[in-house]
Amino acid sequence: MGNWMRALLLSAVFACGFTSAASAQAPSEAQRTQAREIYQRIIAFDTSVEGAQTPAMAAYLAGLFRAAGFPAEDVQVLPLNGTASLVVRYRGNGAGGRPIVLLAHMDVVPALRSDWERDPFTLVEENNFFFGRGTIDNKGGIAHLTSTFLALRAEGFVPTRDLILWFSGDEETSGATTENLLAQHRELLADAEFALNSDAGGGQLDGNNRGIAYVVQTAEKTYASFTFTARNPGGHSSQPRDDNAIYDLGDALARLRAFQFPVMWNDTTIESFRNAASVFSGPEGAALRRFSEHPGDRVAARTLARNVSLSSMMRTTCVATMLTGGHAENALPQSASATVNCRIFPGVPVADVLSELRAIAGSKVSVEPLGPSNFSDASPLRADVMQAAARAVHTSYPNAVISPYMSAGATDGLFFRAAGIPTYGVGAIFIGDSDDFAHGLNERVPVDSFYNGLTHWRLMLTNLAGPQ
């Protein structure tokens, strides 16, 4: 989350209609105990690539759902390439429309026990935090969704539409389990209308542990990298020539540095800029207001371009990140290459960016994709999702302001959007900026935030798939 978005959320209010849900039931002590037990058990599985325990975790969770009475055919573990994913279908009566998919991922990034102050694969409660690898990314979401499904099932809740859990097994690496689901097992999603992602969105706590901000992720930039390569016959350094591979590459990168992709916008960026206009003072505030009222305004865009965070929200960006070149200090280089990383505006095909980069690079430098990438468009702002998020958030954090958000990173939601399933990041975790150590040492989640997440997801599901 960029600094501008944090500032935006301090004062901007998204007009969602509902500001409280006082009638909502807090989780029972039994559910709190059950959720903590699930949390503890799944943290203990080392589901990093090195640990390779994702299949075991999937089997454990599948056992919980089957023991709770979910039919065997509605609980499926899908093995793939040494990992696994899990699909669970909570059948409804169909009165509320097409199914909703609920996303989380079981895998985590590696954690060395020797680096951590506590065993990263043991859930530790200390100083009002839960510590452990995956506590926030994304085993908190796994525990919330699993516990909520089990609790609602035990209460006899019948949703008005099917609810389908999708727990992927390699979100932190290739995303192959999600791609496989969408390509080979699409029938398991039963023509889903949209998806809710526990691994995106979320809230911000201030220094007094008060919830002050919440974002609903409605769009993600496409992550794509490319190689720029210049080649040359080379020769002895005592006889330099103008056609030097390093110079050719440098010239191409200089052109890339000077280039700006065109200004773009969608409903998410316009709503975000409109909210941010009340936070920024001076020319930037005026430019945000002007851009939100007149999307694409050139004068406003030039002003906003001076702010790196704001500029990145209204265009594709590409930047050189790695360099290699030459083979000996006394030899002319035979090749030189650079890695260029792009964050592509939603809806822009990767192929279009590749064509633009090749034009920038020129005839002396080749440009090729560095691995596959996926692009997706922004999800439309759904009133029912935003209203449900407002109800859920304001039950535990009544003063939190809410806004849509476009992230520069990527989650499993990217694949769902690319497959035509609008996806909304509505994760339940609230955390302070100084305590957010996702992917880092001593990853943690506030204890109260974890338990409040049970209320959050109960309300999300009952508001979107319960009797009205």
Which residues, in sequence order, are CB contacts of 413 under 8 Å at separation 6+? 103, 195, 197, 199, 200, 217, 220, 423, 425
Burial of 153 (0-12, 13-18, 19+ CB in 10 A): middle
| Coil, strand or helix at 217 | strand
* Residue 255 to residue 54: CA distance in whole angstroms: 45
Look up the pTM and report it.
Answer: 0.85
Q: Which fold has domain 222-369?
A: Alpha-Beta Plaits (3.30.70)
* Residue 26 to residue 392: CA distance in whole angstroms: 11
Which residues, in sequence order, are CB contacts of 372 under 8 Å at separation 6+? none
Over its C-alpha atoms, the chain yields an Rg (Å, rounded) of 24
Give the pLDDT confidence score for residue 410 in this predicted structure.
81
Question: Which of 360, 363, 335, 338 lies closest to 257 in space, CA to CA?
Answer: 360
Tell me: pLDDT of 439 over 90.
Answer: no
Question: Which of 51, 58, 44 lies closest to 169 in space, CA to CA?
Answer: 58
- Count, in order, helices (H) and strands (E) of the chain: 14, 19
Four-residue CA torsion sign, 81, 49, 375, 87? positive
Per-residue CA distances from 397 to 266, 351, 390, 429 (Å): 28, 43, 10, 11
Confidence of residue 437 (pLDDT cuts 50, 70, 90): low
Which residues, in sequence order, are CB contacts of 442 under 8 Å at separation 6+? 116, 117, 118, 131
* Residue 340 to residue 228: CA distance in whole angstroms: 7
pLDDT in tens, 332-379: 999 999 999 999 999 899 999 999 999 999 999 999 999 888 778 899
Average pLDDT over residues 431-445: 81
Give the pLDDT confidence score for residue 409 in this predicted structure.
74
Average pLDDT over residues 279-291: 89
Average pLDDT over residues 261-290: 88
The tokens of 38 are what?
Answer: 């699930």
Mean pLDDT in the chain?
91
pLDDT in tens, 23-53: 457 899 999 999 999 999 999 999 999 999 9
Average pLDDT over residues 317-333: 95
Give the pLDDT confidence score for residue 3 in this predicted structure.
47
Average pLDDT over residues 165-182: 96
Options 3.30.420.40, 3.40.630.10, 3.40.50.300, 3.30.9.100; CATH of 3-220+376-465: 3.40.630.10
Contact 463, 388 (CB under 8 A): yes
Every domain of the chain with CATH number 3.40.630.10 lies at: 3-220+376-465
Four-residue CA torsion sign, 143, 216, 414, 50? negative
Every domain of the chain with CATH number 3.30.70.360 lies at: 222-369
Q: If residue 86 lies in a helix (H) or strand (E), which one and from where to where?
A: strand 83-90
* Residue 57 to residue 53: CA distance in whole angstroms: 6
Give the pLDDT confidence score for residue 12 in this predicted structure.
40
DSSP string for 275-338: HHTTT--HHHHHHHHHHHHSTT-HHHHHHHTTSHHHHHTTS-EEEEEEEEE-S-TTEE-SEEEE
Strand segments (E) across 132-253: 163-168, 194-197, 202-205, 211-220, 222-231, 235-236
Question: Which of 438, 412, 421, 19 lies closest to 214 in space, CA to CA?
Answer: 19
For residue 166, list its beta bridge partners: 87, 103
